[in-house]
Amino acid sequence: MASHFDRLPIPERMIGRTRSQRLKNMVDISTAMQAARAEAGKKKSGGGSKKRRPGGVLGVEPFDPADHVEKEVGDALSMWLVIVAGSLVSLLMRYVMMPGMSGPKDVLWFLPLALVVVISPLHKVVIPEPWKSRYTFGNWFRASMLYVFTWLALSFLLVNPPLGDVAAPDVAGSYTVIILDGEDVLIDSDNLRSSKGAFTLDLNGSDGEAYMVFAINDNTDPGMANLSMTLLSSEFGSSPVEVVSATVSTLGCDSVWDGLRKSQQNSIVKHEFDACVSIGLGEISAGEYVVTIELIEQGDPWLNSRTLTYSLTVVD
């Protein structure tokens, strides 16, 4: 049986079909915009079919293995050249210049630092092409820093034990001045006050002998050092009186050590290898004095010495 649409005239049937097809092909605006964006993205990326070079968007240059190897070889040559140069300067300063000197001089640090200016010419003379033409200011700066640190590190090793000794002995901790009256060690606060090298000794009516007690330290054996002490009175026309001149190992403090307080012992001797000494000042009378201590040892490569001065006020 024919439908109502089939019974329509042919023109009307064609018009109805066309309208129906137009309605079926209509798309909403949001869907069309999404499709347009997707199509634009595919065109921009080349549809995913074209291979992209890594780093192309960021402007990264392609890796050249041969160029990289040449640069690394040049840096290695520069590093070893600078290490050898710094080591050679350290050895020359230690074993050529220092033995002919009587003590530390400014030239020992000024000359090695001044030689930094030869780093660039040294590269240009020693290192051949194609490596020396690749060096820039950054290479010179790094090479200069490496030279300085190489010289410093090796010099530090060469002037300290066991390869050398350029440091003079010194007083390890605090001084103390006591009165030895018979077998009694008078160390009460009323008898002794000391601060920053200035001592005030109150005899408090005692006629005992005064002793200065301290300890010596050194980077080798402190007992091998020679110690001399002089005492100078402030009275007009006085001259220095030598109290002692002997090796530290012969100046022990066993006779007075047990009479010191534990806190004083700990402030005098700071390390188990420190050498404690006690030096008798005699039956000292009231007045102002200057105590001078000189420590001398045969170092390597020169004689090491240190002089310390203290003031002492003695009251009855």
pLDDT the model gives residue 113: 95
Domain boundaries, the chain: 68-158, 170-315
User: Would residue 148 be called left, alpha or beta, if left means φ above 0 and alpha means ψ between -120 and 50 degrees?
Assistant: alpha
DSSP state of 251: -
Question: What's the CA gap between 270 and 174, in Å, rounded?
Answer: 9
User: What pLDDT shows up at residue 5?
Assistant: 47
pLDDT band for 34, please (50, 70, 90 cuts).
Answer: confident
**Pairing state between β 303-315 and 198-202:** parallel
Kind plus residue range of the DSSP H or E element containing 188: none
Most confident of 3-7, 55-59, 147-151, 257-261: 147-151
Does pLDDT of 249 surpass 90? yes
Rounded to the nearest integer, the mean pLDDT of the chain is 84
| Structure tokens belonging to residue 306 | 């240190």
Residue 245 has pLDDT above 70, yes or no: yes
Mean pLDDT of 163-176: 92
230 strand-pairing partners: 242, 292
Among 21-30, 156-165, 206-215, 249-258, which is the least confidently predicted range?
21-30
Q: What is the largest CA-CA distance in the chain?
A: 156
Task: Give the CB-side neighbour count of residue 253, counting CA atoms within 13 A.
Answer: 27
Q: Which CATH code, of 1.10.10.10, 1.25.40.10, 2.60.40.10, 3.20.20.80, is assigned to 170-315?
A: 2.60.40.10
Q: What angle do CA 103, 106, 107 make, to 5 degrees?
A: 95
Give the model's pLDDT for residue 2: 52
Q: Are 288 and 315 in contact (CB under 8 A)?
A: no
Q: Is 43 exposed, middle or buried (0-12, 13-18, 19+ CB in 10 A)?
A: exposed
Radius of gyration of the chain (CA): 45
Q: Are 214 and 178 in contact (CB under 8 A)?
A: no
In angstroms, rounded to a whole number, what is the distance separating the alpha carbons of residues 247 and 237? 30
Grouping H, G, I as helix, E, B as strand and the rest as coil, residue 219 is coil
User: Is there a contact between 173 and 242 (Cβ–Cβ < 8 Å)?
Assistant: no
Structure-model confidence comparison of residues 124 and 54, the more confident one: 124
pLDDT value at residue 42 = 65
> Is a pLDDT exceeding 60 seen at residue 190?
no
Q: How confident is the model at residue 131 (pLDDT cuts 50, 70, 90)?
A: confident
Per-residue model confidence (pLDDT) at position 201: 84
Mean pLDDT of 243-259: 92
